[in-house]
A and B are shown apart, each in its own frame.
Chain A
Amino acid sequence: MAEHPAVAAHHQFDDLEQQLDASTLGMWVFLVTEIMFFGGLFTAYAVYRSAYPEAFAEGSHHLDLTLGGLNTVVLIGSSLTMALAVRCAQLGSNRGAANYMIATLILGLVFLVVKAFEYHHKYVEGLIPGPNFVFDSPHARHIELMFCFYFAMTGMHALHMVVGAGLLIYFILQARANRYSPEYYGPVEVMGLYWHFVDIVWIFLFPLLYLIGHR
């Protein structure tokens, strides 16, 4: 195991323990704000889905269940590698933390690439809301509304994935510079909280968007 440089707490904290406590609580509070942020979207979704159940089911059948399912597996896998990275950082293995975070990053990028393919298919099929939206159904207008939600919700989620990927790159570089130790591993743990949250949002998005009306 490489040697760890001694890390001092920031000036406003008494010790590293208080610093870790504060940053962990800070991330939890931030995640609460994220829940409220997505909560607004989920509320609007719930209102419209209960108003137009057939349209939402019909629109849902035009989403690619295979790719969506694959992405779900990929993301759950990335949560596992992220959890392992946190464990490595806690034990002071910078190498392990870096490698597991690289695996997390790769899985996250796989998710985004698959998502991009899905978006492309929707574009080809004319399912992008707006003047060019084409759908042959008596519910066409309401299905357009459903696709507004599909793009707003998955788009917002993908944006969070992109931010997470950027953060991961930073923390990978830090781990490779041997920054973490059993006394100082807070940033990786806080990163982990964020990553798991983004995964959990997808765990809700997937059934809400892809699995309506399937038996």
Chain B
Amino acid sequence: MSTVSEPIAGTKVHYLNADYGIKSWLLTTDHKRIALLYLAGITFFFFIGGAFAVLMRLELVTPQGDMMQPETYNKMFTMHGVMMIFFFLIPSIPAVLGNFLVPMMIGARDLAFPKINLLSWYIAMIGGAFTLYAVVAGGVDTGWTFYTPYSSTYSNTHVIATAVGVFISGFSSILTGLNFIVTIHKMRAPGMTWFRLPLFIWAHYATSIIQVLGTPVVAITILLVGLERGFNIGIFDPELGGDPILFQHLFWFYSHPAVYIMILPGMGVISELVTCFARKKIFGYAFVAGSSVAIAVLGFLVWGHHMFVSGQSVYSGMVFSVLSFLVAIPSAIKVFNWTATLYKGSIVYMTPMLYAFGFIGLFTIGGLTGLFLATLAVDVHVHDTYFVVAHFHYIMVGGAIMAYLGGIHYWWPKISGKLYPEGWARLSAGILFIGFNLTFFPQFILGYLGMPRRYHAYPEEFQVLNVMSSAGASILGVGYLIPMIYLVWSMRYGRPSPPNPWGSAGLEWKTPSPPPTFNFDKTPVITEDPYIYSHDEEVEVG
């Protein structure tokens, strides 16, 4: 970590100033620039998806349905789900942080297929455009799950445009995963053996496997729904003997593993943050790495737990229940190993570490409530209630987005070459944590008491908890806006960052910040394991 004391080169050529102009961005094949294109794109989709959440929480402040029609509310939760899942969460960490960091962490100049990488961004944006068209044209009301026969026959909203958007954006996800798999297999620097890979890479490798194996299945499924709706061919139509439950099987075969597309890269981020800010080698490297792969594999075997009350047989329900419990094992391995890493570490409470702590706690709650839902008898009681809503928001927002923001802060000096304002960052991390829990914890109670999801009105006795949730959502909204403002601000006005402000042992920090276009001036040769930290080193921030 001798790099910490190196002088900051003011006029050095790096990937941001190597070329100027809109063309140099829109036609770039540099994985770092494409990561920033993704960052801009998905931030836009995030705020659109967020706007729908705001409208929903406003409607739910009062028990009566007074702000919007029930049909309008159906569109709100559908478009919130579609935008957030397909256009923000799934690309979030892999396409932004993964794109930026995978080549640098393995010592490569770029991904294996830079042009395909750029193509995947365009595909994602075209898919987003179709979905935005559906939103502007009047929305879609099937729920993000597109269940047949509602989506294929009965809904009068813009299902086809949305489905086309989701179908197209799936190829972006497939191509990103393909690029990562090939890059990790074939482009590692000399000495970068599989068990010297950072855990971030292991997590992205596992994620890529899911993207490559799962996404095509949902693609064909959505295509079949589109054909059924557009050309009256009835693959899932009961009138022809088709089976709507088959749609659910095919849909969840992707969409359950998709949850792990969202959370696994987050776990990779947390592994990096915890070691760096505890100044300690990760506890049980091989177990943390292997548990990523185990989650990816097990994740493909549990889709039926979404269908406990859909009419699948009791026996397959029991098998899916047991398999779903098994996912808790690799997840717990990760949480215990992070905790063990903290033990006797020299913990530094910088912003990324605050997000990491937030992640560990919230993910644990989200994961444990998942076990309630995997239990057949309990699920019959809480299925399709706010308990489920709270559970998956603890994973997706409390887990995935906390990790995403933690990662963005941690690698911000690497990405922008500037330091973000630490005070504001800590404040907003705190606001987010409070806002998040106030929004979603009451929903566990609401669900347990029996409030179903996807209704625009509710009995009066639920009002207090709903008002708490809506109040929390407004705090959460402020928590998202603050980082957005100060990060953009810091790109221009932030203090210049030293190459390695955190004293991190990661390979990506051994090149200047921001890095040159080809990442390393000379291909690095790796001679030691990752996460070599000693207690004495302190984090130095300029």
- Binary flags per residue of B222-233, CB closer than 8 Å to A gives 1, else 0: 001001000111
**In the complex, what distance in Å separates the CA atom of A41 from the CA atom of B183?**
30
What chain B residues lie within 8 Å of A7 (beta carbons)? Answer: none
B103, B216, B232: the one contacting A36 at CB < 8 Å is B216
**In the complex, what distance in Å separates the CA atom of A122 from the CA atom of B423?**
71
A152 near B: Cβ within 8 Å? yes
Contact call B214/A145, Cβ cutoff below 8 A: no
Provide the main secondary structure of the chain B interface: helix
A26, A38, A156: the one contacting B113 at CB < 8 Å is A26
A36-B213, A148-B233 are known contacts. Are A47 and B240 too (CB-CB below 8 A)?
no
Contact call A51/B518, Cβ cutoff below 8 A: no
A119 near B: Cβ within 8 Å? no
B178, B183, B227, B241: the one contacting A142 at CB < 8 Å is B241
B113's nearest neighbour on chain A, judged by CB, is A26
**In the complex, what distance in Å separates the CA atom of A34 from the CA atom of B178?**
12
User: How many Å from the CB of B121 to the closest CB on chain A?
Assistant: 17
What chain A residues lie within 8 Å of B231 (beta carbons)? Answer: 129-130
Contact call A44/B224, Cβ cutoff below 8 A: yes
Contact call B232/A44, Cβ cutoff below 8 A: no
Within 8 A of A (CB), among B196-255: 212-217, 219-221, 224, 227, 231-235, 239-243, 246, 250, 253
Contact call A11/B109, Cβ cutoff below 8 A: yes
B186 near A: Cβ within 8 Å? yes
A18 near B: Cβ within 8 Å? yes
User: How many Å from the CB of A213 to the closest CB on chain B?
Assistant: 18
A22, A32, A55: the one contacting B112 at CB < 8 Å is A22
B181, B219, B232, B233: the one contacting A29 at CB < 8 Å is B181
**In the complex, what distance in Å separates the CA atom of A40 from the CA atom of B220?**
6
**In the complex, what distance in Å separates the CA atom of A151 from the CA atom of B224?**
11
Contact call B232/A130, Cβ cutoff below 8 A: yes
B522 near A: Cβ within 8 Å? no
**In the complex, what distance in Å separates the CA atom of A48 from the CA atom of B247?**
12
**In the complex, what distance in Å separates the CA atom of A13 from the CA atom of B518?**
11
User: How many Å from the CB of A12 to the closest CB on chain B?
Assistant: 4
A25-B182, A145-B235, A152-B224 are known contacts. Are A40 and B216 too (CB-CB below 8 A)?
yes
A22, A26, A29, A36: the one contacting B214 at CB < 8 Å is A36
Contact call B110/A11, Cβ cutoff below 8 A: yes
- Binary flags per residue of B171-201, CB closer than 8 Å to A gives 1, else 0: 0001000110111011100000000000000
A14, A23, A32, A43: the one contacting B213 at CB < 8 Å is A32
A29-B178, A47-B243, A141-B240 are known contacts. Are A148 and B186 too (CB-CB below 8 A)?
no
Within 8 A of A (CB), among B108-133: 108-114
Contact call B234/A144, Cβ cutoff below 8 A: yes
A52 near B: Cβ within 8 Å? yes
- Binary flags per residue of B316-337, CB closer than 8 Å to A gives 1, else 0: 0000000000000000000000
**In the complex, what distance in Å separates the CA atom of A41 from the CA atom of B223?**
10
What chain B residues lie within 8 Å of A137 (beta carbons)? Answer: none
Contact call B178/A129, Cβ cutoff below 8 A: no
What chain B residues lie within 8 Å of A13 (beta carbons)? Answer: 112, 187
B103's nearest neighbour on chain A, judged by CB, is A12
What chain A residues lie within 8 Å of B212 (beta carbons)? Answer: 29, 32-33, 36
Contact call B240/A144, Cβ cutoff below 8 A: yes
A10's nearest neighbour on chain B, judged by CB, is B114
User: How many Å from the CB of A153 to the closest CB on chain B?
Assistant: 10
**In the complex, what distance in Å separates the CA atom of A55 from the CA atom of B234?**
15
A18's nearest neighbour on chain B, judged by CB, is B186
Contact call A33/B233, Cβ cutoff below 8 A: no
A10, A26, A129: the one contacting B182 at CB < 8 Å is A26
What chain B residues lie within 8 Å of A40 (beta carbons)? Answer: 216-217, 219-221, 224, 250, 253
B215's nearest neighbour on chain A, judged by CB, is A33
**In the complex, what distance in Å separates the CA atom of A51 from the CA atom of B246?**
12
Chain B contact residue count (CB 8 A cutoff) = 43
A30 near B: Cβ within 8 Å? yes
B242's nearest neighbour on chain A, judged by CB, is A145
User: How many Å from the CB of A125 to the closest CB on chain B?
Assistant: 16
A182 near B: Cβ within 8 Å? no
**In the complex, what distance in Å separates the CA atom of A210 from the CA atom of B424?**
68
A21's nearest neighbour on chain B, judged by CB, is B186
A129's nearest neighbour on chain B, judged by CB, is B233
Within 8 A of B (CB), among A73-98: none
A37 near B: Cβ within 8 Å? yes
**In the complex, what distance in Å separates the CA atom of A40 from the CA atom of B111?**
30
A12-B111, A40-B250, A141-B241 are known contacts. Are A33 and B232 too (CB-CB below 8 A)?
no
- Binary flags per residue of A152-182, CB closer than 8 Å to B gives 1, else 0: 1000100000000000000000000000000
Interface centre among B214, B239, B250 (most CB of A within 10 A): B250
A41's nearest neighbour on chain B, judged by CB, is B220
B178, B215, B219: the one contacting A30 at CB < 8 Å is B178
What chain B residues lie within 8 Å of A43 (beta carbons)? Answer: 250
User: How many Å from the CB of B186 to the closest CB on chain A?
Assistant: 4
What chain B residues lie within 8 Å of A152 (beta carbons)? Answer: 224, 227, 233, 235
What chain A residues lie within 8 Å of B110 (beta carbons)? Answer: 11-12
User: How many Å from the CB of B518 to the closest CB on chain A?
Assistant: 7
User: How many Å from the CB of B307 to the closest CB on chain A?
Assistant: 15
**In the complex, what distance in Å separates the CA atom of A40 from the CA atom of B167?**
14
Contact call B217/A22, Cβ cutoff below 8 A: no
Contact call A37/B178, Cβ cutoff below 8 A: no
Contact call A12/B240, Cβ cutoff below 8 A: no
**In the complex, what distance in Å separates the CA atom of A38 from the CA atom of B113?**
25
**In the complex, what distance in Å separates the CA atom of A116 from the CA atom of B214?**
32
A131 near B: Cβ within 8 Å? yes
**In the complex, what distance in Å separates the CA atom of A76 from the CA atom of B61?**
65
A37, A130, A145: the one contacting B217 at CB < 8 Å is A37
What chain A residues lie within 8 Å of B234 (beta carbons)? Answer: 129, 144-145, 148
11 inter-chain pairs at a CB distance below 8 angstroms, sorted by A residue, are A12-B108, A12-B114, A22-B182, A22-B183, A22-B187, A25-B185, A36-B212, A47-B243, A51-B241, A51-B243, A141-B241
**Which B residues are closer than 8 A to A by beta carbons?**
103, 108-114, 174, 178-179, 181-183, 185-187, 212-217, 219-221, 224, 227, 231-235, 239-243, 246, 250, 253, 518, 523
A sample of 14 more A-B contacts (CB under 8 A), given A22-B182, A152-B227, is A12-B112, A22-B112, A22-B187, A25-B181, A25-B186, A29-B182, A33-B174, A33-B216, A36-B212, A39-B217, A40-B220, A52-B241, A130-B231, A145-B242
3 nearest interchain CB pairs?
A37-B216, A40-B220, A12-B110
